[in-house]
Amino acid sequence: MGVSGNCGSLYIKRFIQGEDRTQATMFPELLDDYVAETNPVRVFDVFVDELDLNQLGFEGIEPAATGRPAYHPAILLKITSTDI
């Protein structure tokens, strides 16, 4: 985790990064295995990734230079929209 920007040779990210869904867990399964290939949430995931959230008026697309890294607005949209 870090800050987006280039401080000499240091490159730090400004958004909290989600877990990789292909990351192995303590069980033999992968996190991605818990969602069926035919689950509509996969379509929604791709749909949100293709949206221009800045053009749609979402705030926080450009991360602040200071403070704790935030969650990217696309991640928050996916969480709140799929919970309905």
Bridge partners (DSSP) of residue 6 are 11
Residue 77 inside a domain? The answer is: yes
pLDDT band (50, 70, 90) for residue 70:
confident
46-63 residue pLDDT tens: 999 999 999 999 888 888
How many folded domains does the chain comprise?
1
Domain boundaries, position 53: 6-82
Residue 1 lies in a domain: no
Q: What is the pTM of this model?
A: 0.58
Cα separation, 2 vs 67, in Å, equals 10
Tens digit of each residue's pLDDT (9 = 90 or more) over 4-33: 444 444 555 677 777 677 766 666 577 788
Percent of the chain with pLDDT over 70: 73
